Amino acid sequence: MGGLRLILIGGAFVGMVALSVVAFHYGGVGGLIGGVLGFVLRLFGRGTDWGERIGNAFIGALMGLPIGLLIGGVAYLVGPQLMAAFSAP
């Protein structure tokens, strides 16, 4: 059961990175930034040894990728409309 779980988690991580790279100009930058921020914030968090910290950092990156992609996509779609609304006389 442990091997199947590892394959599923690894596939989800690789899939999110690939989705962020493919949608780079449509908010994927936010996904990559969210993944890096999640990794770094969890890396220096609580943990008894470096193995546990690396595992926590991996989960932080896995959580940061979709949240960053969502925020980046919303900024890409809503940003120009907000700029047009604020710059109108």
Domain extents for the chain?
Answer: 2-87
Positions in the chain whose pLDDT score sits under 70: 1
Residue 83, token pair as written in the block: 């700029």
Give the C-alpha separation, 70 to 11, whole Å.
19
What is the per-residue pLDDT for 37? 92
What angle is formed at CA 69 by the lines to CA 12 and CA 44, rounded to 5 degrees?
75
What is the per-residue pLDDT for 10? 86
User: Which DSSP category does 26 fall into?
Assistant: G
* Alpha-carbon torsion (72, 38, 6, 14), positive or negative: positive
Give the C-alpha separation, 55 to 57, whole Å.
5
What is the per-residue pLDDT for 1? 57
